[in-house]
Amino acid sequence: MIKAVFFDYDGVLTTDKTGSQTTTRYLSEVTGLELSALKAGFARFNKDLTLGKSTHAQIWPELCRALGRELDIQLLYQAFESTPKNSEVFSLARRLRKRHSVGIITDNKKDRIDYLKHCQDLGALFDPIVVSAEIGSDKGSPEIFLHALRLAGVSPEEAVFVDNNADNLGAPGALGINTIFHDDEKNDIDALLGSLDALGVR
């Protein structure tokens, strides 16, 4: 019997494929900087940010130098706040929470998710919220999933993980966690419901 359903954040609980897409798009729109320059600027720090080896506050001066422009870091938090919620999946999570534990497993920056926990009230719906930057492990390895299972108090066979990147389903699948691919471009909620229903999740 399935006891816990874990959702990826970006691309599943949001309508943007990645958090980087959200952040760079917003900053480009409000500053006039080229999107390609922002993507390149952030890309060199992405791994360290995602694994918790650095924070946006720490890399911000160097990022601004690379961009050739002093930017107020408050713009970054505004970019976080612009993250578009996938309202249909949020509604699904609320419904599932009546009978299952509902959590998040995400490769993400700690400061970003901390901010989103506040402005989207994520903690009221999702528990646990497991962030790669907090444990130093991403979805390419089993540690982040084992940590989520421990927090939820369930075995792999009692859990489902939903992600919009098929590459992220290998590690949890190898552990015995039931996995579902959600195509963020189609955002086919009926297909997601069908996959959950096939696992007895209603």
Residue 156 to residue 198: CA distance in whole angstroms: 17
Q: Backbone phi, then psi, for 160, in 5-degree steps?
A: -125, 140
Q: How far apart are CA 165 and CA 51, in angstroms?
A: 18
Nearest Cα neighbor of 161 from 107, 116, 86 is 107
Quick check: helix, strand or coil at residue 55? coil
Q: Give the whole-angstrom CA distance, residue 130 versus residue 171.
A: 15
CB 102 within 8 A of CB 4: yes
Where is 11: in which H helix or E strand?
none
Tokens at residue 74, please?
A: 């408050």
Is residue 125 within 8 Å of 97, Cβ to Cβ?
A: yes
**pLDDT (tens digit per residue) in 95-132:** 999 999 999 999 999 999 999 999 999 999 999 999 99
> Which pLDDT score is estimated for 202?
84
Q: pTM of whole model > 0.75?
A: yes
Taking residue 16's Cβ as centre, other Cβ atoms within 10 Å add up to: 17
At 62, list the tokens. 């160097």
Q: Which uninterrupted H or E stretch holds 15?
A: none
Confidence class for position 200, pLDDT limits 50, 70, 90: very high
Helix, strand, or coil (residue 83): coil
- 154 pLDDT above the threshold of 90: yes
pLDDT tens digits, residue range 13-39? 999 999 999 999 999 999 999 999 999
Task: Please give the average per-residue pLDDT across 130-151, as a whole number.
Answer: 98
Mean pLDDT over all residues of the chain? 97
Are 192 and 184 spatial neighbours (Cβ–Cβ below 8 Å)? no
Sheet holding 101-106, edge to edge: 129-131, 101-106, 4-7, 159-163, 178-181
Mean pLDDT, rounded, for 124-144: 97
**From start to end of 17-154, where are the E strands?**
101-106, 129-131
Mean pLDDT of 70-95: 98
- Mean local confidence (pLDDT), 149-166: 98
